[in-house]
């Protein structure tokens, strides 16, 4: 399928959790504080598990998984959450328990993974070059959209895109050896990180578990190829971008099955002449209907991806 640069409207509708069937802006309310619950999943690898939901004022935008890797120079933090307030809570934990912060990595440009960067602007904030560029281009629009959804949780939040571009390959930070893995599919640039000491793979949103994948920038064919390469790593454990820690391979199998199921559903819908609303009203694929963030993510994905499938199945006469 031919992919185009997203318009501002597509960014606002696609890059954040605004579902076609639940797009009402939630009222602002008095913001509370984030109660982080970090737990160690492997030697020196800490995980903060996000809610398996869409962005909502009820969860304060704390929906993505965060990983902190202990090093002799402080923590390496992978992703920083949706708000400045969340980033500050994350920074406080790292400062108090892990000896400070050595560096921050953002796995990709979706705002639930990096708008918390504001708490780390005195530290190196790194991402793949294309992720850095996408965050710079879309950060203001993402912040606008999240203010509308999260209300007071976003107070004081301003976009601080990653400042340093990194290339895939080995890197050692504070004595801890990491392998930076550059992939694509969930977005145009997806960073995964393998902790060489424990064999833990921090997968970003290349992997979901028990939570419906979000597809605003997806290239499903490329994503499936990336999954094959991640499988070849044979990690001892996986921290998906959303969902619980996985030591069984379930996240990879489930993400692949969801992508294939959605792809098949959309192809059949457009070739049968259904409208997008009919596809939405059909609801998620039954085997995935009980996942977290469904049916909202399914609805949103139909809206985001429908034109591509329709153009593929029904090319314009004359090739215009």
Q: What is the pTM of this model?
A: 0.90
pLDDT-derived band at 319 (thresholds 50, 70, 90) equals low
Q: What pLDDT score does 26 carry?
A: 40
pLDDT-derived band at 138 (thresholds 50, 70, 90) equals very high
Inter-residue contact 203 to 239 (CB < 8 Å): yes
Write out pLDDT tens, residues 172-181.
Answer: 999 999 999 9
Write out pLDDT tens, residues 77-92.
Answer: 999 999 999 999 999 9
pLDDT-derived band at 61 (thresholds 50, 70, 90) equals very high
pLDDT beyond 70 at 301: yes
Q: What pLDDT score does 13 carry?
A: 43
| Rounded Cα gap, residues 255 and 95, in angstroms | 34
pLDDT beyond 80 at 22: no
pLDDT-derived band at 127 (thresholds 50, 70, 90) equals very high
Inter-residue contact 237 to 190 (CB < 8 Å): no
Q: What pLDDT score does 32 carry?
A: 76
Give CA separation, 156 vs 85, 119, 205, in Å.
8, 11, 26
pLDDT beyond 80 at 277: yes
CA 202 to chain centre: 12
Q: Rounded mean pLDDT of 45-72?
A: 97
Q: How is the chain split among helix, strand and coil, in percent rounded to 5? A: 35, 20, 40
pLDDT beyond 50 at 28: no
Write out pLDDT tens, residues 187-244.
Answer: 999 999 999 999 999 999 999 999 999 999 999 999 999 999 999 999 999 999 999 9
Q: Rounded mean pLDDT of 128-136?
A: 98
CA R_g for the chain? 19
Q: What pLDDT score does 6 carry?
A: 46
Q: Which two tokens stand for residue 7?
A: 């318009």
Q: Rounded mean pLDDT of 123-127?
A: 98
Q: What pLDDT score does 315 carry?
A: 73
| Rounded Cα gap, residues 47 and 37, in angstroms | 8
pLDDT-derived band at 313 (thresholds 50, 70, 90) equals confident
Percentage of the chain beyond pLDDT 90 is: 86
Residue that wins the pLDDT comparison between 40 and 3: 40
| Rounded Cα gap, residues 82 and 151, in angstroms | 12
Inter-residue contact 93 to 85 (CB < 8 Å): no
Alpha-carbon torsion (207, 211, 217, 223), positive or negative? positive
Write out pLDDT tens, residues 247-264.
Answer: 999 999 999 999 999 999
Mean pLDDT of the chain: 91
């Amino acid at each position: 399928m031919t992919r185009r640069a997203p318009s501002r409207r597509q960014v606002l509708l696609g890059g954040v959790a605004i579902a076609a069937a639940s797009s009402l802006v939630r009222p602002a309310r008095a913001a509370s504080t984030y109660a982080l619950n970090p737990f160690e999943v492997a030697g020196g690898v800490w995980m903060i598990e996000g809610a398996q939901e869409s962005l909502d004022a009820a969860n304060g935008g704390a929906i993505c998984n965060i990983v902190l890797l202990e090093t002799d120079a402080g923590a390496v933090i992978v992703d920083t959450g949706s708000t400045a307030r969340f980033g500050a809570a994350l920074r406080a934990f790292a400062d108090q328990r892990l000896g400070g912060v050595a560096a921050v990595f953002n796995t990709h440009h979706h705002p639930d993974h990096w708008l918390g960067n504001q708490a780390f602007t005195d530290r190196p904030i790194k991402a793949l070059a294309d992720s850095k560029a996408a965050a710079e281009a879309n950060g203001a629009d993402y912040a606008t959209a999240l203010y509308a959804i999260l209300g007071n949780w976003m107070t004081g939040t301003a976009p601080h895109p990653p400042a340093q571009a990194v290339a895939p390959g080995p890197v050692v930070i504070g004595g801890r050896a990491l392998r930076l893995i550059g992939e694509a599919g969930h977005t145009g640039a997806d960073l995964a990180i393998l902790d060489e000491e424990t064999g833990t793979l921090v997968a970003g949103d290349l992997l979901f578990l028990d939570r419906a994948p979000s597809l605003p920038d997806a290239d499903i064919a490329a994503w499936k190829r990336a999954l094959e390469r991640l499988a070849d790593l044979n990690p001892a454990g996986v921290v998906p971008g959303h969902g619980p820690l996985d030591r069984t391979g379930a996240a990879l199998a489930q993400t692949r099955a969801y992508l294939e199921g959605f792809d098949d559903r959309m192809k059949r819908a457009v070739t049968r002449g259904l409208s997008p609303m009919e596809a939405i009203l059909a609801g998620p694929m039954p085997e995935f209907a009980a996942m977290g963030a469904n049916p909202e993510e399914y609805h949103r994905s139909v809206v985001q991806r429908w034109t591509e499938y329709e153009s593929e199945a029904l090319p314009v006469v004359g090739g215009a």
